[in-house]
């Protein structure tokens, strides 16, 4: 369907070498986008890009970037534009979590989570947003929020704080950049099977407890996010901005 087509669009997926980011990248490639994966590890990026190309007949490459450096972010954006000609879609899906009781959190723990989950998500938005504004591109930006944006889970004080910040940042940027035709939205995943949640899911009792809170009675898979990502990356969402769509199996219904 043309409304959901991403043909001739270039999508950057930060954190796209694995987990939710890779699942989203596959969906964008299936919809016709040229996809550039970004993360620190070039070997993982090359492996992920090759895997996606084996599944989808699409142009997919990986370019390493240290997202904790504004200078590196700018260089990354310049490289993407040089190689692919444009950036029409940005997905921010890089993630880190440190699970500790609040009283045990160190300043370094706090900074590590906030830097990856909030601070440099903003600067990736800023650099790409400026490029879109300067080039008069009516782009699409998708930030990854979480159930923890609105629910306060034990042992996740920094993660919850950062993800709550993602929502307000998304709304503020959507308001500021609407005049340029840039849509900024967020996706709020529930609990998904990814590398970051492997340790958590090794506890069967915890998994059973989670599933009790999910009306659809299962843990999410990365592919469950692809439809929402395609919606928010395509012309189908032309009149949607500043919103958070929760893809959580119904967790937040109650």
- Is the pLDDT score of 152 beyond 90? no
Sheet with strand 183-189: strands edge to edge = 60-64, 34-39, 10-14, 89-92, 140-144, 183-189, 244-247
Q: How many percent of the chain have pLDDT more than 90?
A: 74
Question: Predicted confidence band at 200 (pLDDT cuts at 50, 70, 90)?
Answer: low
Q: Where are the domains of the chain?
A: 10-247
pLDDT band per the 50, 70, 90 thresholds, residue 149: confident
Nearest residue to 46 via CA among 83, 13, 17, 85: 17
Catalytic residues: 159
How high is the pLDDT of residue 196?
63
The CATH classification number of 10-247 equals 3.40.50.720
Residue 76, pLDDT score: 98
Taking all residues of the chain, what is their mean pLDDT, rounded to a whole number?
Answer: 93
201 pLDDT more than 80:
no
Task: Write the pLDDT tens digit of every residue in 70-112.
Answer: 999 999 999 999 999 999 999 999 888 878 898 998 999 999 9
Question: Can you tell me the distance from the alpha carbon of 109 to that of 107, in angstroms, rounded to the nearest whole number?
Answer: 5
Q: pTM for this one?
A: 0.93
The DSSP string of 155-205 is: T-HHHHHHHHHHHHHHHHHHHHHGGGT-EEEEEEE-SB-SGGGHHHHT-HH
For 28-52, how does the pLDDT look when each residue is reduced to its tens digit (9 = 90+)?
999 999 999 999 999 999 999 999 9
């Amino acid at each position: 369907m043309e409304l959901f087509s991403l043909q001739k669009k270039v999508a950057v997926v930060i954190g796209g070498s694995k987990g939710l980011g890779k699942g989203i990248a596959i969906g964008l490639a299936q919809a016709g986008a040229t996809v550039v994966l970004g993360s620190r590890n070039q070997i993982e990026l090359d492996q992920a890009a090759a895997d996606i190309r084996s599944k989808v007949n699409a142009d997919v490459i990986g370019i390493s970037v240290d997202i904790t450096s504004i200078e590196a972010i700018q260089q990354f954006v310049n490289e993407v534009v040089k190689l692919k000609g444009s950036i029409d879609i940005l997905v921010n899906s890089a993630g880190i979590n440190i699970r500790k009781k609040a009283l045990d959190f160190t300043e370094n723990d706090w900074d590590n989570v906030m830097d990856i989950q909030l601070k440099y998500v903003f600067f990736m938005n800023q650099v790409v947003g400026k490029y879109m504004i300067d080039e008069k591109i009516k782009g699409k930006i998708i930030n990854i929020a979480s159930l923890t944006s609105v629910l306060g889970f034990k042992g996740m004080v920094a993660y919850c704080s950062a993800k709550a910040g993602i929502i307000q940042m998304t709304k503020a940027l959507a308001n500021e950049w609407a005049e340029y035709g840039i849509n900024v939205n967020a996706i709020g995943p529930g609990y998904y099977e990814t590398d970051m949640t492997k340790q958590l899911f090794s506890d069967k009792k915890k998994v059973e407890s989670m599933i009790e809170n999910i009306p659809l009675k299962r843990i999410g898979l990365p592919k469950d996010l692809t439809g929402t990502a395609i919606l928010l990356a395509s012309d189908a969402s032309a009149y949607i901005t500043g919103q958070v769509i929760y893809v959580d199996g119904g967790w937040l219904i109650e």
